[in-house]
Amino acid sequence: MLYPLVNNFRNVLDLSGIWEFKTDPKKIGEREKWFKGFNTGTTIAVPGSWNEQLEELGLLHYVGSAWYSKKVFIPSEYESKRIILRIGSIDYNSKFWINGKFAGENKVGFLPIELEINDFVVPGKEAIIVIMVNNELSDETLPQGITSKRFRDEKRLRDETNPPTRYDFSPYGGIHRTIQLVTTPHCYIKQIKIDTKILNNRNGLVNAEIIINSKKSLVISAQIISGKKVLSQKTSLNSGKAKVKFEISNCKFWSIDNPFLYDLKIELLDEKNIIDEYKTPFGVREVVISGNKLLLNGKEIYLKGFGKHEDFSVIGKGLFLPLMVKDFELMKWINANSFRTSHYPYSEEMMFYADRKGFLVIDEVPAVSLDFRYVNGNTLKTHKEHITRLIDRDYNHPSVIMWAVGNEPNLVGDKNYYNGSAKKYWKEIFGFTKKIDSSRPITVPNCTRAGVNDPVFEFSDVLSLNRYYGWYEYPGNLDEATSILSKEMDTIFNKYKKPILFTEFGVDTMPGLHSISTQMFTEEYQQQFLEAYINLIRSKKYTIGEHVWNFADFRTPQHFRRVVLNLKGVFNRNREPKSAAFLLKRIWQNPSKNKL
């Protein structure tokens, strides 16, 4: 799926702003025809979660359905265009009506939705757009859901959160990213897939596949543009597809230090004229796992950074560009070079920004804490759809160096996880992902409860570990924690012989709490913990990086373990540094793994 842009053939109309809003806890909206549009006097800003924004209406922990309505003028010049309603993401489920007619449904959160709406609108007139959003989850969605009844039936009273979730972040609901009317020509460039290779230290190879929505005999003109330098090619489309190949001499490779981006411009031509055009940035780079090393453009690279979240006060999971810019500046300031989109795809804007700023990204689907006791064929189907749509969205980003096709399966520690069916499931998921993208390593972060025999290790290119010894286990005892962890790391490496990446380690830390003795929750303990882990991780020849959990404090469901927020941030929720930020900045200023 291509990101919307404005040029002579395409246009974008921003629909963000204030929408009419109404919750539907009893799910009567469809029966009462709310889809015809409504005006209740309750309003909400889009993009943004409803939770903190409308806390005063009792929505802080609201899980259920809610309706959005807005009158939108459809410009008459859209008459000759293909008109799309496009939303960067809605969490989690959504249904759409335009001028009272049902226009479509989506059950995949965190990823863009496109609906062709020509049959529903009259250019030159107003249209009423109504969207029903629902943030309830089930065994067959990603993430999987859980109810308080299930917690109680399983006699897991102390595990129950409110709202009930299988994961440790707020189940925000709402229209979370850009909402736009996008136009393209009726015959249009549908997808561009770019692969790059380094031929030698001067030349790069670019292979691009272009897909259009028609089988007509048309022609593609492709150009690689860098300043005044232009390489061009023309080729005919065959059944709506064309391939072009360029060799760039004196190529500027994309790297952390010099995230150089070329533009690929595609023009679609009939006999005489250009009928559509699309331009996208891309970088020439190569990511390879070689032995126990991660290589970027043939050079060893050690990952330093964070697991993050899309979370901020008031806006919740809503796209907020100043915060995105701030987070990248803070990551640069602290000398990080990478992050993981834990535990779901982040905004498209963030991925383009990572390309520009030279950050390496582990891109994750929301298969967080899969409980295999409730996984079924439909869960697998949903999982594949998330992977397909994520890779379709993010394939061309040079910043994306790895796919995480899950996080911490079997967090519940079920013994049957090892009886073969989970292995079959993971084999299928890894194989499926490799078929769509054979160029990037694939991983799934493993948790302590899934242990050293987690079937994901067998299929992962990189063994990703989330560990909290010294916190959830062996509390306040870093010597014991690191000694047990050291042995466990060796066991895992010796069994699977693949590089190990630490995708999570961290401790809850209350800013301003201090102690001269070892004391959990203090700023000193966070520093001691991180330093001890980093020393251990770097002492092993097979490790390729350290991602601290978490970049910043973030809101969680209610539970006695959480003081409103998960406090493992190195920055607080407002992005002010805790003491550990200065420690990491010092450790991370050296790009090499070996010298602290």
- Which residues of the shown chain bind ligand GCB in the complex (CB under 6 A)? 167-168, 343, 407-408, 447, 466, 504, 549, 566, 568
Neighbours of 462 (CB within 10 A): 24
Tokens of 537: 């991780």
Residues 432 and 384: beta-carbon distance below 8 Å: yes
Instruction: State the number of CA atoms in the 13 A half-sphere of 299 facing the CB.
Output: 13
Our CB check for ligand GCB shows the closer of 168 and 524 to be 168
Our CB check for ligand GCB shows the closer of 277 and 364 to be 364
Our CB check for ligand GCB shows the closer of 97 and 169 to be 169
Distance (Å, rounded) from C-alpha 102 to C-alpha 130?
Answer: 9
CB of 225 to ligand GCB, least distance (A): 41
Residues 123 and 78: beta-carbon distance below 8 Å: yes
CB of 408 to ligand GCB, least distance (A): 5
Our CB check for ligand GCB shows the closer of 168 and 371 to be 168
55 catalytic? Reply is: no
CB of 471 to ligand GCB, least distance (A): 8
- Give the DSSP H or E segment for 222: strand 219-226
What residue type is assigned to position 292 of the chain? Answer: N
Strand order in the sheet with 204-212: 189-198, 204-212, 241-248
Our CB check for ligand GCB shows the closer of 398 and 545 to be 545
408 catalytic? Reply is: yes
Closest residue (Cβ) to ligand GCB? 168
Our CB check for ligand GCB shows the closer of 182 and 362 to be 362
Angle at 503 between CA 283 and CA 486, to 5 degrees: 130
Looking up tokens 């799934």 gives 444
Q: Which of 364, 408, 524, 546 is catalytic?
A: 408
Our CB check for ligand GCB shows the closer of 317 and 343 to be 343
CB of 295 to ligand GCB, least distance (A): 27
CB of 467 to ligand GCB, least distance (A): 8
CB of 566 to ligand GCB, least distance (A): 5
Find, among 249, 289, 240, 296, the residue nearest to 268 by Cα: 240
Distance (Å, rounded) from C-alpha 567 to C-alpha 209?
Answer: 45
Distance (Å, rounded) from C-alpha 528 to C-alpha 48?
Answer: 37
DSSP 409-460: TTTT--GGGGSSHHHHHHHHHHHHHHHH-SSS-EE--B-TTT-TT-THHHH-
Question: Would you state the torsion angle of the CA atoms of residues 41, 46, 50, 51, taken in this order, to the nearest 10 degrees?
Answer: -140
Our CB check for ligand GCB shows the closer of 151 and 260 to be 151
Residues 410 and 367: beta-carbon distance below 8 Å: no
Q: Which of 20, 140, 364, 504 is catalytic?
A: 504
CB of 407 to ligand GCB, least distance (A): 5
Q: What is the largest CA-CA distance in the chain?
A: 79
Distance (Å, rounded) from C-alpha 345 to C-alpha 310?
Answer: 10
CB of 543 to ligand GCB, least distance (A): 18
Residue 93 β-bridge partners: 134
Active site residues: 408, 504
